[in-house]
Structure 1
């Protein structure tokens, strides 16, 4: 090195400091049936070229393809390539934990859920607490909440805590309740309910805010443990063709875990995080401002506030009584004044506000509060969101477009809830529920998601439900409230450009064009030519994020 001229030394130093100049790698994927959205139209193409993390060009069937010695060419074998799909509402840590806990999603009865939990416990003998998720009493013959008594027969001495599929109710055995100090005298917290029998004894079921009474008795994960779970979850999500997820409600520790992973280049998909309010240290975290990694793999610019619970557990806040439960209107998880304070604080600090609202009362509260504080804070351009927007008064539907509020909705909730939703809501309110067509016709933007692990993270399940309004058995015939279907293009857009728009990222992801990020997936079937009833069966062959192959079947 000492014998080299200063000019050569300088050239080597510049090359070392500018690796993109030396190691830039261009890849061309040919022989594909490519689709993207351009000017609200579906554009097809036959090849795509990208260098490192950016797209160079997409090529039509008649375009001349580039040739170069250092060009890597991949034969797409005639398969379908689309932009990476975006889930605008999921829970990554909980999803990762669900991969490590008792899976009760397909349990057919209370006893079946116990058998599945017992099998899990036998394979995980080192655990102090047995935890699981996925039970749904509305899918059981009993259609009734489970009991601690039934769990106690198999687990008399080990604490068990099993969360409902929507995460808005939990089922504990007596040992878990004893460790949490739950007795007959324990009072339900505001925004939650400890279900008790006719003698006032807790049955083992805890609704919404009452679940914290059990949760707080379980040792929290360390940052290191969280990172391990997050990596497992993100790798799994990539296998479904998801290249970006909006994580709908994390705490400060979870936020720090993501930051560390992004700094370590250990994230396989993009994450746009929402800080849950109120959670520990939330004021300090908001005061610290927004965060965006240099490679756009991790972004934090929004908050998540929960207005009410879920419809299945009758925690969704309704204006009038539940049609199948006289005298019960559900639960607001914060008082209106508390909710206003959270919204006002967040908007004034420049954060996008995303509020969970299921029932018509919760949705009205969110829209009323947004309207008041968007005007006061002049933050209409922050694209505030209503997460779920599930049961709406018909007169509230036009307010989304009027206020530039995004409806972040999950199509599979409709096909999962169809067996109980009308029972809960009756024949009139149901007309404003899961009302995708009414919202789109009123010029609202719908950002699609799944709410995993409440539902499967598979976006093709969501695309299928959006287009058909049917379950995987093609039921009901013609679709459930079929007049609310999306067109294939609308459904595709809701999982791509509109989901990107809802995270302020439409300029870098959501479609395939020169200069955008190289996020795309190769499919085993053509989304736009396959019979609609088979869309849910599409599987992913390969997933690229930031120009890197992060999943291969």
Structure 2
């Protein structure tokens, strides 16, 4: 008896990301699996009376995008917040905030995102006095694009109990002014959290990544708000062609919400989450919590199977860790959040438990510390295919470049982060790292040529989530000086960093990340041919269909 496909995609330019058969014209899906990839003539016989036929109109068809580093709760909340993306100058900021305040009279905290470090001045830091001139009668705060710094007005600082300063965790800081009161600048999660606690979500979106905690007490209404926020964020992911996310938040509360969505309406994207290990947590948590979470959440649709950590902060906040001094601040290299021995101990225990590790490391000093920890774990437990990662790697020392291949460490990087990309200014970043570090900053090509495996992502909401926008930024990156190497990857390498390599990082390369028979039916259909499109126009190509696990999760409305 003839078995027909549920969905057939025809008239397509299929890029399978499978080296054995890299291109095709059509593919067929039955249930949640791809059953055939090939020519139109080969696929047509699988069309039955109930088969849905999708005409790709010569658009590119790819494996669904894998967003390898993002924050789903924080990003989803951000969809409701005021965006200050590309806003410059006092007048524009004031107009934006006043309009937002007038439209949101019931908000307990006016919160804006994507506020550039130089939004008001190229040379002076924003203060509470600046923000008081913007709005003074309601609490207001704005968050930097990297989410490592926030600025709050006086009203917000008063309500949060920060106006007179407060001791916060290592690597965190309530910046004080010359008048003995808080300046308004808050560096890192522990310093920002008291202000975020004033918001409609009570700052719950930052618990996993920030304090590492769980909500203390929650009303059914508050949980319903959070669930609705995350549902909207997941739908937004699907609308951008994303079928897998690696959510770096890492708290149990989010896992339970995601599990509820999966068991009711079904997750529109696959989710991978870590256990977030902070410097104040006992190492025993890895066995008692991280391994237990892994046992409970371990399906192809929702899994918790790795450990996430921070070793430093960000360059603009002067909290990244460098081997040598900041160029603008002699004597300061940054303070790591863990000692080398403490980091080694945690990574070694996670490795013993067969839990991969992903560590945020911005400066070359932080990157070296993480590589040293991975090497220590390998020496203690024996070498294995751990697929440990380093997140961001904004600056690297030349001596550490070959260690990625030697240790099998994956470079998780963001094409939207280099200054000059995605609307980001060049300063103060370039001055902070100094000219000598420019050649090995955001060194994608250098690392790839040395054999490192690279995955791309946006770190949403640090950068806009759109994969095609990110691919555009990767392919159009400009050099900061003529004598610097072009660090761009090829289009094929860039697409792999958003699809097949992401699956490999997750130990799922045997069933997703490629379009081939027997693989999970995770597919994105684009509005144009990416190979025939000029790189500067890649962001104009849009997803028209997203299919995850064999189900259409997004379909562009007809125009």
TM-score by length of 1: 0.88
Q: CA deviation at 1:74?
A: 2.5
- Does 146-155 or 226-235 show the bigger shift? 146-155
Gaps of 5+ in 1: 1-20
In the TM superposition, residue 187 of structure 1 has moved relative to its aligned partner by 3.8
CA distance in 1 between partners of 2:94 and 2:338 (Å) = 33
Normalising by structure 2, report the TM-score: 0.87
Pair 1:502 & 2:502 matched: no
Q: Aligned in 2, Cα 1:280/1:371: closer, same or farther, shift over 3 Å?
A: closer
Comparing 132-141 and 396-405, the one that deviates more: 132-141
User: Aligned partners of 1:460 and 1:481: how far apart in 2?
Assistant: 26
Residue 138 to residue 337, structure 1, CA distance change in 2 (3 Å): farther
Secondary structure of the corresponding residue to residue 250 of structure 1:
coil
Relative to structure 1, the CA distance from residue 539 to residue 380 in structure 2 (aligned partners, 3 Å threshold; closer, same or farther) is: same
Q: Does 1:266 align with 2:273?
A: no
Counterpart of 2:330 in structure 1 is 326
Task: Say which SS state the counterpart of residue 182 (structure 1) adopts.
Answer: coil
Alpha-carbon contact 1:192-1:331 (below 8 Å) kept: no
Q: 1:144-171 CA distances to partner (integer Å, 9 max, x unpaired)?
A: 3211112224543432232111000011
Once the two structures are superposed, the pairs formed by residues 188-199 of structure 1 within 5 Å of their partners are 189-199=169-179
Matches within 5 A, 1:125-274: 125-138=105-118, 140-184=120-164, 186-187=166-167, 189-208=169-188, 209-216=190-197, 219-221=202-204, 222-274=222-274
Q: Match of 1:29?
A: 9
Per mean C-alpha deviation after superposition, the further-off stretch among 396-405 and 125-134 is 125-134
Count residues with an aligned counterpart: 526
Measure how far apart 1:61 and its partner are.
Answer: 4.8
Aligned residue number for residue 419 of structure 1: 426
Structure number with larger C-alpha Rg: 1
Tell me, what secondary structure is at the counterpart of 1:121?
helix
Report if aligned partners of 2:14, 2:23 keep a CA contact under 8 Å in 1: yes
Q: Does 2:532 align with 1:529?
A: yes
Q: Is 1:371 aligned to residue 375 of structure 2? A: yes
Distance (whole Å) between structure 2 residues aligned to residue 461 and residue 291 of structure 1:
36
Consecutive unaligned residues in structure 2, runs of 5 or more: 205-221
Instruction: Please name the residue that 1:46 is paired with.
Output: 25
Q: 1:58 aligns with which of 32, 37, 54?
A: 37
Q: Which residue of 2 aligns with 1:466?
A: 474
State the match for 1:8 in structure 2: none
Instruction: Please tell me the root mean square deviation across aligned C-alpha atoms, in Å.
Output: 2.6
Is this contact kept in 2: 1:92–1:247, CA < 8 A? yes
Segment of structure 1 superposing worse, 145-154 or 528-537: 145-154
The answer to whether the 8 A contact 2:4-2:51 is kept is: no
Q: Which one is further off, 247-256 or 184-193?
A: 184-193
Q: Distance in 1 between matches of 2:33 and 2:112?
A: 41
Cα distance, 1:248 vs structure 2: 1.4
- 1:498 deviates by 0.6
Match of 1:543 among 530, 546, 551: 546
Shift of 1:280: 8.6
Aligned 8 A contact 1:110 1:146 in 2: no
Q: Which is further off, 201-210 or 439-448?
A: 201-210
